[in-house]
Chains A and B, each alone.
Chain A
């Protein structure tokens, strides 16, 4: 596609429920990143996929968070047993080559009530 696509754009969930956020990167981009942006905060790195290499999961805040990338393309970020502090905008970005910078999607706004 022409850009990075994320779905859903908005998600309201009850505390304790699981959620899945989807990211469709730009075709051919080998690198894919997930970030979290809380109100008034900077972007917080979550996880990074590069080609077929093992993902860099160093930014995941707890074991309730996991992500996978199937076939080197679509990625899903899963948050289990959601908590109110998980409320944020979750941004996905992809890149062909690091020096080009990322192309970001518009994000999924997650609200845990």
Chain B
């Protein structure tokens, strides 16, 4: 059975304090790993898709990396507007998506 865990559950950073969020997964044949951002009261917003170990993608202050067992979302010099819940999801060959519980990020000014 596909499983996705995320750590930490919540993270509080000072503005400019870089850190990383972790997504660990077990899946029977990874078709893709997805990162989403979710703001309160809104649906998740797509950030990245990663397909294979060693792949990296960047968008503004965010960089996602992928290994065979986990993915990291690195946040460089975060700003208060980066505060959100970050969700990780995996897709298996059957096109089933499994989401992790998310990491709640707060960036304080």
Binding site for B on A (CB under 8 A): 4, 33, 35, 40-43, 45, 48, 50, 56, 58, 91, 93, 98-107
Contacts and interface: CB of A to CB of B under 8 A. Distances in A.
Question: Chain B: interface residue count, which band?
Answer: 20 to 34
Contacts of A40: 101
A104 B45 contact: yes
Interface on chain B toward A: helix, strand, loop, or mixed SS?
strand
Given A98-B91, A99-B32, A42 B102 contact: yes
Nearest to B48: A101
B98 interface: yes
Given A101-B36, A107-B43, A48 B95 contact: yes
Given A43-B44, A56-B96, 19 more contacts: A42-B87, A42-B100, A42-B101, A45-B97, A45-B99, A58-B96, A91-B43, A98-B31, A98-B32, A98-B91, A99-B49, A100-B46, A100-B49, A101-B48, A102-B46, A104-B44, A106-B41, A106-B43, A107-B43
- Main secondary structure, interface of A, reads mixed
A98 B41 contact: no
B34 interface: yes
A102 B36 CA distance: 9
B96 A45 contact: yes
Contacts of A104: 36, 43-45
